[in-house]
Amino acid sequence: VLKLFKLLHRTRQEVFKNDTKALEAARQKINEEFRNNRDETSEEKINELLKIASDVEVILRTSVIQAVHTDSDRIVLIPRKDLLQDNTPYLDKPTKK
């Protein structure tokens, strides 16, 4: 449980880097969820909660991207390196090799 708690906080720091509001909100939410369930004794419920926390960590790490408003009608995306993937271009008519 402690390992997952620390992993969520590390992921939060990486995903929301330089965004103090998001960092604080995520910190509070993570701490609140773990605090609310710290007295849980049912093994099935604990495993379910750990699965949810693990899924949240994966979603944060793989799906969340930062964006910054630069003008009233412009947003700049700030992707992390682990989000960038090689893209294969789409071809209407594939070439024969």
Q: pLDDT tens, position by position, for the chain (97 residues)?
A: 899 999 999 999 999 988 899 999 999 999 999 999 988 889 999 999 999 999 999 998 888 888 888 888 888 888 777 777 777 777 777 677 6
Amino acid 97: pLDDT: 63
Distant-in-sequence, close-in-space partners of 40: CB < 8 Å, separation ≥ 6: 46, 49
What phi-psi label fits residue 77: left (phi over 0), alpha (psi between -120 and 50 degrees) or beta?
beta
The pTM is what?
0.73
What is the rounded CA–CA span in Å between residue 39 and residue 66? Answer: 35
Longest dimension (CA), the chain: 63
Cα 84 versus chain centre, distance:
14
The full set of domain ranges for the chain reads 1-82
